[in-house]
Structure 1
Amino acid sequence: MKRKLFSITLVLIFLILISTVASAEQFTKIGSGSEPAIDDGKVTWTNNGVIHVYDLTTKKETAVNSSAASHPAISGDKLVWHDESSEIPRLTVYDISTASKTYITQNVDKSSIPAIYGSRIVWSANSYVYMHDISTSTQTKIADGDNPDIYANMISYDSYSTEDTPQIYVYNITTKKAIDVSQYGDNMFSHAYGDKVIWSDFYNRLGNIRMYDITTGQQTEVTTGNDKTGYDTGGSTDTDGNKIVYLKHNNLANIDSGDLYIYEIDTGKSKQLTSGNTSQTPAISGNVMVWSDSGNIYMLK
């Protein structure tokens, strides 16, 4: 009987080891640094103020000539990042194919974090949202607000407007009209994709994630954490297609890191991908996710 139990135990240990190895093989370290962003088969991040680009097809990493760079964003072959190499805040726009740079200096401050889609870049400065169109070299003040994101013809952002707490608005570039999609709560850090917007509610949910479908007008509670199940950081989320990636933390003193989860919009179910409570800044494009952890950039595809 003891031999049988011993054999069963060995089998269980073997299966656990196989599972652990298989799980670990799914995660690929692609570089060192933080703040990864991904689009169209390319990953970018910053390491000690230098921008790096990794091509998923060729598996080649390239360091871009840069310094004092932070918060990179990517769309196609265009990069944009916050730049203080001149000791004056500005946004650097970089063309990967030509290695050429241009700069956005007007209405940029130390907290301006850019987002890009196609030829359009959005950011906020002094609580105003701005858009710069690379193709036409035109810059527009969109609205009072902060933390904008852009997808196609849609800009999402948070703004106090007439409320005591920030609400999430979606601005249509064509009609030049904005709608409040959150309606209640203390809402920040929106991300847009397709006809959906996600954000974090800090009013009484401490960062739980909510989603609004512009087509149907339906709002969904993506996460509903509490003291027992752990809170969701909200500030570190991203969405693409049918998926939302987010961090769930169990330490209110450190909400910038946590365990990585993926939420399937169609099924309404979440799955935990990492453990250790040390993952940061997840991003997603298609079926590929990237994030930083302890100074390294990881990928799951």
Structure 2
Amino acid sequence: MKNKTLAIFVILLISVALVTIASAGTENKLTQDERLTLRTSIYGNYVFWTECAGNDVHAYDLTTGNRTDITGNSAGSNLNAYGDKVVWTSDSEAVYMYDISTGNETLIASGRRIPDIYGNYIVYTNNYYYGEDHQNDGIYLYDLNTHNETRIAAVYSFPAIYGKKVVWSQENSSNASDIYLYNISTQQTGKITTTNSSIPESELDIYGNIVVWTESGNIYMHDIASNKTTQVTSNVSAYQPAIYANSIVYTIGDPYSGGNKDIYMYEISAARTTRITNSTLAFSPSVYGDKIVYADCRNNPEFCEGRDIYLYDLSNTSNNLVANFTGNVSSGTAPLNVSFTDTGTGAPDAWYWDFGDGDISNEQDPVHTYLSAGNYTVCLTVSNVNGTDSKLATISVKKELQC
């Protein structure tokens, strides 16, 4: 126990020493005076957010600068995006999906809430009201290809999904809380943390093998591959973690009440923390590649009702950090082996590859095998003390020819 306490102290000491103020990126205001914005999400070139006043869901195209008002039936709570699709909870306690490429809005499931999406899968939980029994509790997996809903756990909890992994927090037999994982491929469920916390883990997110969450006002992360849990923050009232590749973003300060609050970023590979905003009124961050979006009521500080949506771009660095890479092939039949080579500039000290099929790598020049047919978006994120940059490319894999 003494060694464990010492190790935690060393980790916290290092994290405090590595907090820096963001100076390499640029901040731009995308929209202004959104009413009571509670959640943001970003994927690719699209930014999404909800308004509690009016119960609206909106989208903003970073390429064209065009805004789309999607719907007026949001509950103003969570939303999550993947590819050209965004999911949210409606004011009638149902899960909806909008496809930005087709303009189609779809009711996924009634009596469900708190959805997350990855690829062709959506996960969510049942509606629950205080005083009800828990007989109908469940975490559900919805397949967009088959339109089938599967109950994967008999608990009421807020799930998150990445690739074929679904995670959630669940009370154990000792009335404490742990994090569980369901593998879609094997249909097996297992416990991945044994914190035995009396305070339930909340606000879970997952990317690759890294799970992040809020517990007792601090941010934690767990590496599924190494079975290692790391405390990211300490004694700072941190909330709303979101993860993409090598970056975890979160709010320091209670986003649901008055008081100061700002956005921070933690780089996993370097164990480095950077303060992104200093407005003291920023919250609800999300991250994709080298872009962070968040809500901020700096222009309406007295009541914080009119909230602007901001984008912080880490790619605009002062040290000419540029991500780039090549592959020995860009298409072929499955199984397809691709050798990737980092060709970027600017002296990065960390590499994070997302191969688009649920697998990741921290190698500088990895080799990856695509087992199934499909079009995969490869994302390389490089970083150093001055910032990050990302590069995207597409790998096309065809079905193996059969004689």
TM-score, normalisation: structure 2? 0.61
- Output the amino acid matched with 1:267: A
1:123 is matched with 124
**Structure 1 residues 134, 214: closer, same or farther in 2, change over 3 A?**
same
Q: What SS is found at the alignment partner of 2:280?
A: coil
1:208 is matched with 218
1:179 is matched with 190
- Output the amino acid matched with 2:175: D
Deviation (angstroms), 1:50 = 1.9
Q: Aligned partners of 1:68, 1:216: CA distance in 2, in Å?
A: 39
* 1:189-268 → structure 2 map (5 Å cutoff): 189-202=203-216, 207-225=217-235, 230-233=236-239, 236-249=240-253, 254=257, 258-268=261-271
Q: Aligned partners of 1:189, 1:218: CA distance in 2, in Å?
A: 19
1:299 is matched with 311
Deviation (angstroms), 1:297 = 0.8
1:59 is matched with 65
- Output the amino acid matched with 1:115: D
**Structure 1 residues 163, 29: closer, same or farther in 2, change over 3 A?**
farther
**Structure 1 residues 177, 163: closer, same or farther in 2, change over 3 A?**
farther
- Is the 1:157–1:189 contact (alpha carbons within 8 Å) kept by the matching residues of 2? no
* 1:1-301 → structure 2 map (5 Å cutoff): 26-32=26-32, 33=34, 34=37, 35-47=39-51, 48-70=54-76, 71-84=78-91, 88-108=92-112, 112-125=113-126, 126=128, 127-143=137-153, 144-184=155-195, 185=197, 186=199, 187-202=201-216, 207-225=217-235, 230-233=236-239, 236-249=240-253, 254=257, 258-294=261-297, 295-301=307-313
- Is the 1:257–1:280 contact (alpha carbons within 8 Å) kept by the matching residues of 2? no
Q: Aligned partners of 1:194, 1:73: CA distance in 2, in Å?
A: 17
- Is the 2:61–2:67 contact (alpha carbons within 8 Å) kept by the matching residues of 1? yes
Q: Aligned partners of 2:234, 2:68: CA distance in 1, in Å?
A: 40
Deviation (angstroms), 1:152 = 0.7
**Structure 1 residues 257, 199: closer, same or farther in 2, change over 3 A?**
farther
Cα RMSD after superposing both structures: 2.4
Q: Structure 2: give runs of 5+ residues left out of the alignment.
A: 1-20, 129-136, 298-306, 314-403
Greater share of helix: 1
